[in-house]
Amino acid sequence: MPIFASMTEEKAQPRNSSAILAEERYLRERRDPSFRDKSYLALADLQEFVRRTAPKMNGRLLDYGCGGAPYRDLFANCPVYVRADMLQAPEIDLVLASDGSTNEPDATYDAIFSAQVLEHVADPGSYVRECGRVLKKGGLILLSTHGLFLEHKCPNDYYRWTSQGLEELFRAHGFEILDSVKLTAGTRGAVQMLHYLVEQFRYQPPSITTLFLRALRKLYNVIFVPSFNLCGRWLFEDGGVVPADDTATIYIGVGVLAKKL
């Protein structure tokens, strides 16, 4: 079974997706998230998790499904940083096979980084097996994916994860879990979800109701998004990156640091 969804049936969409992942706005939101951004809390918390974990990675690293590789600069201990994705582009070092595999020799890498890729993978088990195959024994993988999040096809979107489910996936494929976290959890996660819910306030066909909801969304984006983000950032800071055994039942993302046995 292909690791990633087949891209041959949707030729136009993946090209558009690739362009989006490399555009300046997309990269800026991940490298330097602003409290005016709708996904500020989720992106700031993901960046914090990567920032605090990246120093543990050393040697030759594979960014498996890199997109625009926005977090590359955080891996200062990895002198060889290989950017891999499905489509050829100037910023891609390794073009993946049509099934998503790397075609790299066994035990090629000391470390693997995977940010918000697993939800787009048709067969997550095959993806994790490929990670294990190209990792050296004792090599590390740092992976994040979505808990509660909007559907976002790029070109496809298949899964959402709990911390327990993600941990079990890695254990089943020969990894030891070194760290497991929930990202943007509790009240902080609820604030982030509110931003996404307001964006769904739409009505068809065009009418007074349509105009009202459009004005409401605009007002919310201009005033309440930055206000709520600042409140979420400072009042509920302890919900940004929490251990997987935290009691929070709402969380936007999950992440693991795992070692190949």
* Residue 197: inside a domain: no
* Residue 135: inside a domain: yes
* Residue 72: inside a domain: yes
DSSP string for 121-183: BS-HHHHHHHHHHHEEEEEEEEEEEESS-----SS-------HHHHHHHHHTTTEEEEEEEEE
CATH number at residue 98: 3.40.50.150
Tokens of 134: 């190209």
Specify the pLDDT at position 13.
43
User: Residues 253, 119: contact at Cβ < 8 Å?
Assistant: no
Specify the pLDDT at position 1.
56
Specify the pLDDT at position 18.
53
Q: How many domains does the chain have?
A: 1
Specify the pLDDT at position 90.
80
State the Cα–Cα distance between residues 86 and 229, nearest whole angstrom: 34
* Residue 5: inside a domain: no
* Residue 203: inside a domain: no
* Residue 30: inside a domain: yes
Specify the pLDDT at position 6.
39
| Residues in the chain where the model's pLDDT stays below 50 | 6-16
Enclosing domain of residue 152: 12-186+240-260
Specify the pLDDT at position 19.
56
Specify the pLDDT at position 14.
46
* Residue 117: inside a domain: yes
* Residue 222: inside a domain: no
Specify the pLDDT at position 147.
96
